[in-house]
Chains A and B, each alone.
Chain A
Amino acid sequence: MTGPARRNPIARAPEWLTALFGEPAKKFLSQADCEAVAARARGFAQGGGVTRLFVDSWWVGELRWALNRVSLASDRRNDELLLSRSIHGAGGLVTTNQIDDVSLEGAVRAAERIAHYQATNPEELPETPPRFDYLKTAIWSDATFGQPSSDRTVAAQRIIAPAEQAEMVSFGFLAVQAAGHAVIDPALGRPLYAPYTAAQCSMTVRDPQGVGSGWAGLSSYDWARIDPEALARRALEKCLASRHPVTIEPGRYTVVLESQAVHDLIRFVVNKFYGREEAERIPSPFHLRQNFSKLGLQIANGRITITQDPADPDLGVLPFSDDGQPVGPVTWVDHGFLTRLAHWRDYALKWLHENEPVVNRWDYRMAGGTTTVEEMIRSTERGLLVTRFSNIDVLDNDSLLMTGVTRDGLWLIEHGKISKAVKNLRFTESPLFVLNSVDMLGLPERVFSPGAPAIVPPLKAHDFSFTATIDAI
């Protein structure tokens, strides 16, 4: 193979690179950086057509601890580039994380070579510049970006201390991320760029004898909105209260699901809002019959409303999809009725005579009520309080029947009070069943969901199906 001149990694870095990684090192690529990379890539293009560049350039600062001691502190960055060349509808796509001239030219040539193998597509939709409106979103936090690694150390010490004092052991992870996401596609009329931050903190506190375990966690774009010490108290309380669980018979139980447990199930439903075409064509949870989806039909209890809104100040998501399509406010489920399913722009143009696609960014807000978890417990004659679910597998894609286990705190409720810690149970149930058997809804709150923020209420539901006891604690 012959290629362009070999890049010698020891040679003095070119000026633009020195500018990027001088002292102090830049943590991620700016809008100007991304546009400059795209311009250089376009300069290498041969044979006409369109050059598109998608960039996710990120930095993370992380801290992990185990057995009450920090086990790893890290500082990492990467530039993930997707470069596509499209000539008469034939496209080629390559992925790289190198932005020097030699690598970029190599990537452009590789994309063109791949495009060359593809048939041209005369039916390709005309590249009419869309008139999209992109929402302004709250996804940047200086507190997250500016956090020095010593802050993570202090946070970890404060998280570990109460567990150690109580002679329990703490394990956990906290991370802050700052990144720039760019979509540079001539068809969009302008380069899109969004800087964003993300933060997460989660921990498991265990009894050293292995007889109890508690968990707490939270994620947000804004580190300042995470209270590590409050999480530490919660995980420790759960651990202490979960010790020496007793075995109960599996069966159908009224359940009080904390918001994290609700999210663990409902995220599978939200993922299915993706794909209106799929729902019309093939058996899936929202497929009615050949060529018809369940749009317009009731799929959940009348109190269930699930929405997505990038401008929601509590969610914090990018205002555009990975390929630059606008992410708008969407009501997926409105008072129990399925009102929207995601689809691509070509589907919108072809079948709906609309310009804009409906994009599912996986983030969501589930509307709730005003009942507190304590009130839910008080109103329960016999039931179970669930902290969270784990190890979930879908058994039947058509009904979303799934199985998984409870984890880090499961308690029996008797006569309106928590009576005892019980051993974990395996469930076999569909989240759609839960959405139809809701009795009470609590105040929606942020949950631990890195990458796809979610605001979810705790809820009480009846007849949740537990099928086996498990010994894991």
Chain B
Amino acid sequence: MRVTRRGFLEAGTTTALLASVPPWLVASLPGRTPGRGGVVPPVTDADIRELALRAVDAARGAGAAYADVRLTHMYRRSIDSKRSVSDTEEMAVGVRVLFNGYWGFAAGPTWTADEVTRLGREAAAVAKVNAGGKPRFVELAQVSASKTGHWETPIRIDPFSVPIDEIMDFLMGINVYVGEAYPGIGTQTGCQFTRREEAFASTEGAYLTQVFTTTGAGLGILLENAPQGEQNGIGSDLLLPAARGWEYIRDNDAALRAEPSRLAAILEADWRLPWKPVDVGRYDLILDVAGMGGLLNATLGAATELDRALGYEANASGTSYLDDPLAMLGELQVASPIVTITGNRSAPGALATAQWDAEGVRPTDFALVKDGVLIDYLTTREAAGWLKETYAKRGMPVRSHGCANAQSALFASMLFPPNLRLEPGKEDTGLDDLVAGLDRGVYVRDLRLGVDFQQRDGWSVGGLFYEVKGGKRVARLAHAGLLFRTTDLWKALTALGGPKGFRWTPAGRTKGEPAQTVSYSVGAVPARFKQQTIIDSWRTA
């Protein structure tokens, strides 16, 4: 992507920087916010508990077998070095009711006693209307966790407590420093914060409150001396959104100041490499952390969502090739034996990290793929019940993995990925070691993927492809693309980067009808694959 200087300056940081950030992230993270602190009581306030219990009581009074209520209060703020600020506040309350196996849900923005009572009744009413038809069975997996409690993302400095002027000074300080230290590099910086307060209550007696905070910074550079036709701008992935406070940015001041020259070096190294037409064929392949995170998220991460595997997303975001849990669980080799993939909601700094999920389940870390074999699916309380017989056959307990989540209380909770983790290899190798060990092949930076609606077949829709010879990048391959079959690609994985190459990157999933988007983190390491198909992606038939 080539950015014009004028466009870069006019668009403002958010646009320019986020050009390199996936669109779902733009949709779900940046924004605006409060500063009108004190308007609504904090989520731990007894008044909010009172509201939540009223909604649950109303649903129970209307005959619900089970009901839960969520109240969410979300602030978003983004600030950039062009002195542009945006603030968003959203409050919501949603009541979910189970009546004879049929779910009903009602939600709105108004936190008053009368309104939550109305929502409780409304949710029960819409569930009941359907319960008159053919029978449907829902068995909610048992919850063993605490019934009451409060948890907050561990942060040192609440980003919303930091004066806007201080943040602007910080950001502009970086621009000024770079302008003086590195003439010829134009810099734009920006940051974004979210805080989501959540209360959860259920007819099972749970009352849980949580406060989630995220912080992220963007930095983009524009090189004035870029040769005609070359990429002249690039965005940083140094401080991608994470479950951190303002300290995440402030404590990385030195790294941020060094970032523009590091990014410039990446671009300049690229310019020195010639462009070459791609020689279509099979090559050993190396993907970086961003590419591996994207691959994991788009393929195995989506395919192991149990609702998707059983068809629940058939009319929306698609189905899964892992569609026969009874036959596949514990049997199917989905990846090379060196691949182990786990899910968690506990990794410090990761975006899905929580004490309880949207159904009040206390998640534990679990494995999805062990030594290349599929051993579990992502589940919620209802979904775990679908696998009752399968779990019994394999001697596994029927319990939710705590994957219930929702964009906000305006949406009914459903199954979303937790933090996903591709376990690092044993040898402590990094990306550079992998590339150095490749005699002849292709290395892809920032691969972006498309996959079909069952995650079976995939192809690249972006990324920079390099020809590697004798452990060195020797050329850039114009319009090169990757074509793969999910199972074959994962089975062809021959080397994984070690712990030093591991990193978390933000990811997101849009699914459901109505569609909702939820963020989480994917942790990965760079990896090498043998003999993959490299094509000219712009070539038509």
Contacts and interface: CB of A to CB of B under 8 A. Distances in A.
Contacts of B541: 250-252, 428, 465-467
A279 interface: no
Interface stretch (B80-88, B141-149, B347-355): B80-88
A359 B316 CA distance: 30
B39 A4 contact: yes
Contact of B39 (A3, A25, A62): A3
Interface string B287-329: 0000000000000000000000011101110100101000000
Contact of A395 (B115, B132, B537): B537
A72 B103 contact: yes
Given A21-B115, A153-B129, A94 B32 contact: yes
A271 interface: no
A109 to B, nearest CB: 7
A393 B164 contact: no
Contact of A96 (B90, B133, B316, B539): B90
B227 interface: no
Interface in A231-263: 250-252
A97 B90 CA distance: 6
A465 B114 contact: no
Interface stretch (A121-129, A166-174, A349-357): A166-174
Nearest to A57: B109
Interface string A416-435: 00000000101011000000
B240 interface: no
Given A206-B314, A472-B457, A77 B109 contact: yes
A442 interface: no
A67 interface: yes
A118 B133 CA distance: 59
Interface in B482-541: 483, 485, 513-514, 537-541
Contacts of A405: 452-453
B450 interface: yes
B86 A173 contact: no
B538 A391 contact: no
Contact of B311 (A1, A169, A428): A169
Contacts of A281: 4, 7
Interface of A: 1-4, 6-10, 13, 17-18, 21, 23, 25, 60-64, 66-67, 69-79, 92-98, 102-103, 105-107, 109-110, 113-114, 117-119, 149-150, 153, 156-157, 169, 171-173, 175, 202-204, 206, 210, 213, 215, 250-252, 281-282, 390-391, 393-396, 401, 403-405, 407, 424, 426, 428-429, 465-468, 470-473
B127 interface: yes
Nearest to A64: B513
Contacts of B513: 62, 64, 173, 175
B442 interface: no
A393 B108 CA distance: 34
6 contacts: A6-B40, A76-B106, A95-B89, A95-B90, A119-B83, A428-B537
A66 B104 CA distance: 15
Interface core residue of A114, A204, A394, A465 (most chain B CB under 10 Å): A114
Interface in B106-134: 106-115, 118, 122-123, 125-127, 129-130, 132-134
Nearest to B93: A9
Given A3-B37, A78-B410, A428-B540, A118 B84 contact: yes
A92 B52 CA distance: 34
B311 A391 contact: no
Interface core residue of A64, A66, A76, A97 (most chain B CB under 10 Å): A76
A134 B155 CA distance: 51
Interface stretch (B43-51, B187-195, B215-223, B433-441): B43-51
B89 A73 contact: no
Contacts of B35: 1, 106, 109-110, 113
A96 B129 contact: no
Contacts of A94: 32-33, 86-89
Interface of B: 4, 7, 31-41, 47-48, 50-51, 83-92, 94, 102-115, 118, 122-123, 125-127, 129-130, 132-134, 136, 161, 164, 168, 310-312, 314-316, 318, 321, 323, 410, 412, 450-454, 456-457, 459, 461, 483, 485, 513-514, 537-541
A8 B108 contact: no
B105 A73 contact: yes
B80 to A, nearest CB: 10
A1 B40 CA distance: 13
Contacts of A76: 94, 105-108, 410
Closest 9 CB pairs of A and B: A106-B36, A1-B37, A465-B540, A173-B513, A3-B38, A472-B454, A74-B105, A393-B461, A171-B314
Contacts of B51: 9-10
Contacts of A70: 102, 130, 133, 136
Contact of B92 (A6, A78, A95, A403): A78
A114 B85 contact: yes
B433 to A, nearest CB: 32
B109 to A, nearest CB: 4
B538 A395 contact: yes
B157 to A, nearest CB: 14
Given A75-B106, A78-B92, A69 B126 contact: no
